[in-house]
Chain A
Amino acid sequence: MKKKAILKYIITAVVICVSLFFLQKLVQPKYMSDVVEGRLIAEYYDEEKDHDVIFVGDCEVYENFSPKVLWEEYGINSYIRGSAQQLIWQSYYLLEDTLRYEKPDVVIFNILSMMYDEPQKEAYNRMTIDGMKWSMSKVKSIQASMTEREEFLDYVFPILRYHSRWNELSKEDITYMFDAPNVAFNGYYMRVDVKPAENIPEGKILADYRFGDNSYYYLDKMVELCEKEGVELIFVKAPSLYPYWYPEWEEQMEEYAAEHGIRYINFLENVEETGVDFAVDTYDAGLHMNLSGAEKITRYLGDVLSEEVGLEDRRGEEKLQKIWEPKIKAYEEEIIRQYEKYGMN
């Protein structure tokens, strides 16, 4: 009798836990049609972890560099661990997380996020952190990123955060409950359309141009981590015209890079060399590159990586070729799909 009762309670507990698990999966946003940026971080875990180069940073990495070009033209296998408004401590913990799986030769960090010294928006936090697998890096990233009203428990049980989505569930939420196709190409978010940069806003005068202590703290940690792991760290500043990149910020980054012996490429200052034309190479008036712009600056970067850094051409490796074949196919299909979508030839 007692055994029967215990069994009854165990079955009840299991049914409740399983149903809550399914419910949680159901209400979590899938980021498949709107704001696909929310899916970028999670896609990495399905990858074969054998990359030569890892990018970390915000939209200035995942919209401006094409790993496909690096592979096809330089034989460099790379992956972008970027997400929308990725803050520097999030980049740091993502890097820490990535290094648990693989040790690349080079890590490229886009330094725009130095401008943020404090947590910003909850929605962006979620898009960066939700996709991470659980580890101490994720825990620390949550702790460092939470805005005033956020709760740690909401990250542990996302149903607490997304509970009100029951009212806006769509077919997409069921279709992609457990599995979803990749939306990015090794972390690259492709856009082929064009919106020329016309009125470029000037930067507002700031009270203090010095980057915050918190930003420097995590930058130091990133440098230390790369040194410890024997990975070369490269700083880049993508050629985005906005947010405005102040000369005072540039000075600080140049000084920091020189002091620590870190290679630093500011693409805003290499517009002629890269061949970026803001009339045709951006899809949102200068904030981000489109496909044409991204491929141009990736070629410039590819030259640096193969000639100056000395990364090997791995195109001869059969295993990698097999991995890249379907990726290149999907990449090209996506170009055609987008050309049709935007009515371009």
Chain B
Amino acid sequence: MLFTSYDFLGFILVLFVLYYIVPKKFQWPLLLGFSYIFYFLADPTYLIYIGITTVTVYLLGCKIEQFREEQSAYLKANKEVLSREDKKLYKNKIKSKQWKYLLIALFINIGILAVLKYTNFAISNVNSIMGLLGSDKQFGFLDLALPMGISFYTFQSVGYIIDVYRGTCKAEKNIFKFALFVSFFPQLVQGPISRFSQMAETLYQEHSFDAKNVCYGLQRILWGFFKKLVIADRILTAVNEIIRNPDEYAGAYVFVGMMFYALELYADFTGGIDVTIGVAEVLGIRLAENFNRPFFSKSIKEYWNRWHITMGTWFTDYIFYPISVCGPMLKLSKFSRKKLGENLGKRVPIYLSSFTVWLATGIWHGASWNFVVWGLGNWVVIMVSQELEPLYAKFHARFHLQSNRYFQFFQVIRTIFIMSCLRSFDCYRNVPVTFKMLGTMFTTWNWNILWDGSLMQLGLTMTDYLILLAGTILLIAVSMIQRKGKVRDQIAACPYAVRVAIWYGLFLVVLLTGVYGIGYEASQFIYNQF
């Protein structure tokens, strides 16, 4: 069920009505029922996978929690008998048992994700290697269904059980409540990747009808539809035309394609998240924000702190930190400091952990070398800019440009350009083609296409371009206004007639200029596939 389909609108409308008329204690079970119906309607077989994740993580989480409870009961009971050493030994024993259960949970759930998502990628690589070695033998690909949102709910569940293991959150004892955390349908499709401790606060609470919440939620959904239907799905035609025909569209077209794709991805992904958060808001549930005006970032590092925030923090918390402080890494740190000197040596473990994170980020985004190169490309850019920091410092000390508006604007444009170049790996069919096309930007001099009417051949009309231009200006304007606080709060402070005019105007824009219905290809949200 696409978020932009009538079915989805009908689905949430029925839910909203029922949610506020059933007795409050049935609100969360109602959400669970609707979440499972949502998943069932996508494909009944998907329920098996989400069911396995729910049951295994729930049971193993409870087991880990049980050990913790046993430990505190034992230590309390034997407080005066046990020596410090005994306590430590006991704690280590418990920790080791918990670790085993954690490993089982990770093995099962990361295993399911890996098998379903990466088996065919592995087979294609094995086939390529065998081909290079002169063997005729080729393995056939497996027909594996990738359940909707598996990457999101697996990460969310894995984050939960690691938190339980670390003791940063308590295991949920009610399997149905836990099942709702894993399957909560608005975020099942494309995130955000929520943390149990944050989400549980409002997910299981009893909610009374709050007109403000409901209005704000509906406004956010409308804004999401504007981004998705008016901008993302409109520009998609031109993006596809450019990236699917690399032989025809080189040089300046690659630049145009990159910029269009940046806009498409932003409007598509943030639009989807707006719908997700908006639906949750109507239900009185708070979800984590996933974006913070990322295209205003002045560096790639800053960009990644503002784009897909919940994924970034997930990788930092559950991969970067554990790797940075694990035994072998500490040994490596010691070794490298000794061999390479304090200054360089202390950076080796950070680089290695960071490398692992970006490799994992790339692979998480897709089972292909394109995403591996994309992930590592980000790593290289971040590491290089980190290495160049002393140089930047000297530069700023000499020229004092840090607070110069024009220089800041240059930094923003530079970040957008670098990120767009990296994102090209997400577009073209393979890595060599991507490098080749990026190269043509500097070898094929056809910038005249920007003004000689060639852009009209990309499947968009002049009206489409004007709508896109107006839409982009609106996106930028809204981002600027966001600096002063929530836009919806600012609109809510306006006189009634102005408020109605703004929201009804936006509704009409979506209704009339949205790309939907017969004559348009319904397009999935890009992040559905993850």
Contacts and interface: CB of A to CB of B under 8 A. Distances in A.
Interface stretch (B57-65, B340-348, B511-519): B511-519
A159 B500 CA distance: 21
Contacts of A167: 463
B399 interface: no
A51 interface: no
Given A16-B504, A150-B518, A154-B517, A163 B6 contact: no
Given A8-B496, A153-B6, A166 B517 contact: no
B518 A163 contact: no
The main secondary structure of chain B at its interface with chain A is helix
Specify which of B500, B512, B513, B514 lies most central, judged by the most chain A CB atoms within 10 Å of its CB.
Answer: B512
B518 A161 contact: yes
A252 B404 CA distance: 85
A122 interface: yes
Nearest to A16: B504
Nearest to A162: B517
Specify which of A12, A153, A163, A167 lies most central, judged by the most chain B CB atoms within 10 Å of its CB.
Answer: A163
Contacts of B518: 122, 149-150, 154, 161
The main secondary structure of chain A at its interface with chain B is helix
A161 B500 CA distance: 25
Contacts of B6: 151, 153
Interface residue tally of chain A, by bracket?
A: 10 to 19
Interface string A160-171: 110110110000
A160 B512 contact: no
A119 to B, nearest CB: 13
A160 B511 CA distance: 7
A151 B6 CA distance: 8
Contacts of A161: 517-518
Nearest to B500: A12
A248 to B, nearest CB: 35
Interface string B495-530: 010001000100010011110111110000000000
Contacts of B516: 160, 163
Nearest to B10: A153
Interface string A288-329: 000000000000000000000000000000000000000000
Interface string A9-47: 000100010000001000100000000000000000000
A331 to B, nearest CB: 36
Contacts of B513: 163-164, 166
Interface residues of B, number: 15
A226 to B, nearest CB: 34
A27 B517 CA distance: 15
Interface in A144-181: 149-151, 153-154, 159-161, 163-164, 166-167
Contact of A163 (B463, B500, B504, B512): B512
A166 B514 CA distance: 11
A289 B309 CA distance: 68
Contacts of B517: 151, 154, 160-161, 163-164
Contact of A164 (B500, B508, B519): B519
A223 to B, nearest CB: 34
Specify which of B6, B516, B518 lies most central, judged by the most chain A CB atoms within 10 Å of its CB.
Answer: B518
Nearest to A159: B511
A168 to B, nearest CB: 10
Contacts of A149: 518
B514 A163 contact: yes
Nearest to B467: A167
Nearest to B6: A153
A138 B141 CA distance: 49
A164 B511 CA distance: 9
Contacts of B496: 8
B512 A166 contact: yes
Given A151-B6, A154-B517, 8 more contacts: A16-B504, A150-B518, A153-B6, A154-B518, A161-B517, A161-B518, A163-B517, A164-B513
24 contacts: A16-B504, A23-B508, A23-B512, A27-B512, A122-B518, A150-B518, A151-B6, A151-B517, A154-B518, A160-B511, A160-B517, A161-B517, A161-B518, A163-B511, A163-B512, A163-B513, A163-B516, A164-B512, A164-B513, A164-B517, A164-B519, A166-B512, A166-B513, A167-B463
Nearest 10 CB-CB pairings of A with B: A166-B512, A153-B6, A163-B512, A167-B463, A151-B6, A122-B518, A12-B500, A163-B511, A160-B517, A149-B518
Interface of B: 6, 463, 496, 500, 504, 508, 511-514, 516-520
